[in-house]
Structure 1
């Protein structure tokens, strides 16, 4: 079965954002149940899953932290329901340190910290070396604040780099996840493409949600596929973009359960994949 978040004001209905997928599930004969997302993010996982029956499940909903997902998994298990993606697998996909080493040949170099302290940040900065870099945390960047909270023109300018990190931390506030991640800046061209992987195979290719009407041509997954397959993750997305030199580079890997579907992708195609 699929699990969707319930509408906040109408708890017997699917959240509006996921209605197309729920309707596709109904048409395809795929059962689904509702969970209370607010309860999940408020430490009340048992209450959140009170209406979920027994069986194997795949979540399609709003993003959860790794700890929230683990509590979700535990609460479902007590009801005889099993998430196809385990808590450990979710953390691997959801947090950059979980997948970066496996995809190192096809993604920008990165160093990270285990907190928000300046000393650790400076050490990670020194390890990455020199030149420009981009900043994020384990799960998210602030790309809409590129100049003030993402782009670091020079890793050797310690104070300027820390100003960017401080602004990032201010913007992320309580949502800051894990630690700082510094990634070597690479020059890309064109729009990103979002690929959907199920059982270790790329099953759908579509636009990135930020550019739903643009899907680049000529995608080549020959180098990426064996590396992604080796991660043995049940359901993930991999976002790629073309480097200036023509190579396809992995920008992000995420758990497919909380990855947004672009408006240009058929909900039926995605649900049929999961079914």
Structure 2
């Protein structure tokens, strides 16, 4: 308990469990795109060539590059540019490099859910929470986090991101609905 008389809902360990992709990925690897982890000092172009994937989504342990060249590349030779731009626009690489396999997602289907004390919530009170979010809520041991879900072209729902919740936007939610998660 701090000097304000308040206590934290989320412990430091729980925060880090959802903040860094390498911490949550092993718990839900079957529910999210395949991901490999590297150091900035690794021969990234060579590593990507070895993977022989059709496309790569590049991010550090926390964020992707949303400016300049973006985070999606099709050729391993483009990895150096993305990493350099991440360092330029973000100031640093947090943790290391995460390379996620590109899947055929339908971008307009992405939705954010929140989990509070093991219970998953959707943006609308009467909206059904997908089974994949309920499963994620069981596997991730944190009191509060966000889960972003998207649909592949084949209709399969996939988790694209888990967030620590502390800095997550309430994309698709009203402030009133978000506040309802904390009442009673």
Interval of TM-score (by shorter of Structure 1 and Structure 2): 0.7 to 0.9
TM-fit CA distance, 1:179: 0.8
Kindly indicate whether residue 68 of structure 2 is the aligned counterpart of residue 117 of structure 1: no
Report what 1:231 is aligned to.
140
Report what 2:113 is aligned to.
195
Q: How many residues end up aligned between the 2 structures? A: 180
Kindly indicate whether residue 154 of structure 2 is the aligned counterpart of residue 252 of structure 1: no
Report what 1:134 is aligned to.
57
Structure 2 unaligned spans of 5+? none
Report what 2:177 is aligned to.
269
Residue 103 (structure 1) aligned to one of 12, 15, 28: 28
TM-score norm. by structure 1 comes to 0.58
**Which whole-Å CA distance do the structure 2 matches of 1:101 and 1:202 have between them?**
20
- Quick one: higher RCO (CA 8 Å, sep 6+), 1 or 2? 2
TM-fit CA distance, 1:97: 0.7
Superposition map of 1:40-51 within 5 A: none
Larger Rg: 1
Structure 1 unaligned spans of 5+? 1-48, 56-81, 207-217
TM-score norm. by structure 2 comes to 0.84
Kindly indicate whether residue 14 of structure 2 is the aligned counterpart of residue 89 of structure 1: yes
CA shift digits 1:251-272 (9 cap, x unpaired): 110012221123x633233223
Cα pair distance change 1:266/1:220, threshold 3 Å: closer
CA shift digits 1:202-242 (9 cap, x unpaired): 12336xxxxxxxxxxx9762234223312121011101111
CA shift digits 1:118-166 (9 cap, x unpaired): 43x3565356443211101111111343xx2412213xx4x33323322
Higher helix share: 1
